[in-house]
Amino acid sequence: MSQPSPKPQQIPVVVLAGFLGSGKTTLLNHLLHRSGGSRIGALVNDFGAIEIDAMAVAGALGDSTVSLGNGCLCCAVDASELDQYLERLAEPTLGIDVIVIEASGLAEPQELVRMLLASEHPGVVYGGLVEVVDAAEFDATRARHPEIDRHLALADLVVVNKLDRAADGEGVLELVRSLVDRAAVVPATYGRIDPEFLFDCRPSEERIGQLSFDDLHEDDPSEADHREDGFHDHDPHDGHSHAAQDGDAHRHGPDAHAGHLHAAYDSLSFASEAPVDPRRLMTFLDSRPEGLYRIKGYVDFGPYDIRNRYVVHAVGRFLRFYPEPWPADSERLTQLVLIGSGIDAAALEKELQACRSEAPHADEHGMWGVLRYVRDPEEDGADQAWTGPATSA
Ligand SMILES: Nc1nc2c(ncn2[C@@H]2O[C@H](COP(=O)(O)OP(=O)(O)OP(=O)(O)O)[C@@H](O)[C@H]2O)c(=O)[nH]1
């Protein structure tokens, strides 16, 4: 791609977007580990009240992460607030070369792009929109969310991820190529793309011209329908609590941003200081309702594995646990964010509460159900910290 050079000292800001669970955090983590000499600042956003994504990348970033735990970025901040966040990352002493904004899986990318183009911060320049696509779920996601096509048409780079899971990867790649405007389409598994490619993916001069404010303001017919319904009069997200109480669950429902992908979604955040019983959790997960599209977070199985916490990811029917050693200074908490449509958040919360257990000892086979969903570290050759379950009771 031909790139305009940013003015001296201007830091490119890349927006990383893509549907829930497509692999944005995985890609960001990959970039953080493989960026060579470049220093990446990350602005991480999450939908739930607990900032799972922020925690997932925080270790790699130290000071250079700013996270917003306040719902979808496009709804949570206005341009001047965004400028304040960018200002923190553009602080010359941090020496950051590129800023990546990981949008919530439910964010409308054009809102973010519009805010970046409107940014008055002299130290930053809009660096392009990267859309991550889950190749395995692409048809299903498109059927439910035709807006995806619009997002792809705006993208500068599309990463077609999870090709290892796609039945017809070539077919998906071809379809995506037909949907983009002039974006580069990059095949990937586990977000492993060449970082150079991403940092270079600044839009061309023409592209900036094309992506004018007017384009970005263009009304989506589906939004107009909603407005006629008075849909946008619904209350925005109710207050998000960062300091989740023990066993506290927190939900927010349809919000004011009609036409955004998240308009029809509910989310629930669950935090517990008491460990979780693995069998009970598996029973909960095995019977999770269809509409519960995404689960992510950390699980403390207490005496069943005192060394590791278990990162959990569910996307649709897909479920994986990733054990990793508890960071030395972290509080032992179970923190989960559940996102779905038409889910009964109160009932789910109750079920999760019932998974808590203060039992001091682990029984011998308690973890078997969980370990069936632990990824074999050989599966992707990825940089996993895990070396095997440490079940010391
Ligand atoms: N099989 C497979 N799994 C992947 C790949 N990339 C990511 N995953 C897994 O997919 C799940 C979701 O990945 P994330 O990176 O958290 O996705 P995300 O887009 O940040 O998710 P949200 O924050 O919910 O929008 C995790 O379990 C990842 O390990 C891939 O290429 N292949």
Contact 281, 321 (CB under 8 A): no
Task: Convert the pLDDT of each residue in 122-178 to its tens digit.
Answer: 888 887 888 999 999 999 889 988 889 988 998 888 999 999 999 999 999 999 999
Clarify whether residues 309 and 209 are in a common domain: no
* Mean pLDDT, all residues of the chain: 72
Distance from the alpha carbon of residue 22 to the mean position of ligand 1, in angstroms: 5
Clarify whether residues 190 and 314 are in a common domain: no
Alpha carbon of residue 142 to chain centroid: 18
Among 389, 337, 334, 338, residue whose Cα is nearest residue 357 = 334
Question: Is 230 inside a domain boundary?
Answer: no
> Structurally, how many domains does the chain consist of?
2
- Which of 219, 250, 267 is the last residue before a domain boundary? 219
| The token pair that represents 347 in the structure block | 């009932």
Question: Is 299 inside a domain boundary?
Answer: yes
| Residues 6 or more apart whose Cβ sits within 8 Å of residue 33 | 60, 383
pLDDT of residue 250: 41
Which is more confident, 284 or 98? 284
Q: What is the CATH number of the domain that holds 104?
A: 3.40.50.300
pLDDT of residue 216: 32
| Residues 6 or more apart whose Cβ sits within 8 Å of residue 267 | 47, 48, 251, 252, 337, 338, 339, 340, 345
Q: Which atom of ligand 1 is nearest to the CA of 165?
A: 1
Distance from the alpha carbon of residue 380 to the mean position of ligand 1, in angstroms: 13
Q: Which atom of ligand 1 is nearest to the CA of 311?
A: 27
pLDDT of residue 198: 64
Pocket test for ligand 1, best of 44, 137, 313 (most atoms within 8 A of CB): 313
Task: Convert the pLDDT of each residue in 173-203 to its tens digit.
Answer: 999 999 988 777 889 999 998 776 666 433 3
Interface ipTM above 0.90: yes
First to last CA, the chain: 56
Question: Is 387 inside a domain boundary?
Answer: no
Clarify whether residues 245 and 112 are in a common domain: no
Distance from the alpha carbon of residue 227 to the mean position of ligand 1, in angstroms: 33
Distance from the alpha carbon of residue 106 to the mean position of ligand 1, in angstroms: 14
Distance from the alpha carbon of residue 235 to the mean position of ligand 1, in angstroms: 31
In the predicted structure, residue 280 carries a pLDDT above the cut 90: yes
Q: Lowest mean pLDDT: which of 8-22, 41-55, 130-144?
A: 41-55
Q: Lowest mean pLDDT: which of 55-69, 90-104, 139-153, 276-290?
A: 55-69
| Residues 6 or more apart whose Cβ sits within 8 Å of residue 239 | none
Question: Is 330 inside a domain boundary?
Answer: yes
Q: Which domain holds residue 269?
A: 241-371
In the predicted structure, residue 246 carries a pLDDT above the cut 50: no
Site residues for ligand 1, CB cut-off 6 Å? 18, 20-26, 53, 105, 161-162, 164-165, 189-191, 294, 296, 313, 315, 320
Q: What is the CATH number of the domain that holds 323?
A: 3.30.1220.10
pLDDT above 90: percentage of residues in the chain: 27
pLDDT of residue 204: 32
Clarify whether residues 348 and 266 are in a common domain: yes
The total of other beta-carbon atoms located within 10 Å of residue 279's CB is 18
Q: Which atom of ligand 1 is nearest to the CA of 46?
A: 23
Clarify whether residues 146 and 67 are in a common domain: yes
Please name the amino acid found at residue 188: A
Clarify whether residues 189 and 295 are in a common domain: no
Band of the pLDDT at 116, cuts 50, 70, 90?
confident
The total of other beta-carbon atoms located within 10 Å of residue 176's CB is 24
Average pLDDT over residues 49-74: 53
Nearest-CA residue for atom 21 of ligand 1: 21
Clarify whether residues 209 and 114 are in a common domain: yes
Nearest-CA residue for atom 5 of ligand 1: 190
Clarify whether residues 55 and 194 are in a common domain: yes
Band of the pLDDT at 59, cuts 50, 70, 90?
low
Nearest-CA residue for atom 13 of ligand 1: 23
pLDDT of residue 392: 36
In the predicted structure, residue 31 carries a pLDDT above the cut 60: yes
Which is more confident, 156 or 372? 372
Give, in order, the Cα–Cα distances in Å from 228 to each of 107, 146, 234, 264, 265.
22, 20, 13, 17, 20
Distance from the alpha carbon of residue 135 to the mean position of ligand 1, in angstroms: 11
Contact 161, 134 (CB under 8 A): yes
Return the H-helix or E-strand segment holding 148.
helix 147-154
In the predicted structure, residue 6 carries a pLDDT above the cut 50: no
Band of the pLDDT at 308, cuts 50, 70, 90?
very high
pTM of the model: 0.63
Sequence length of the chain is: 393
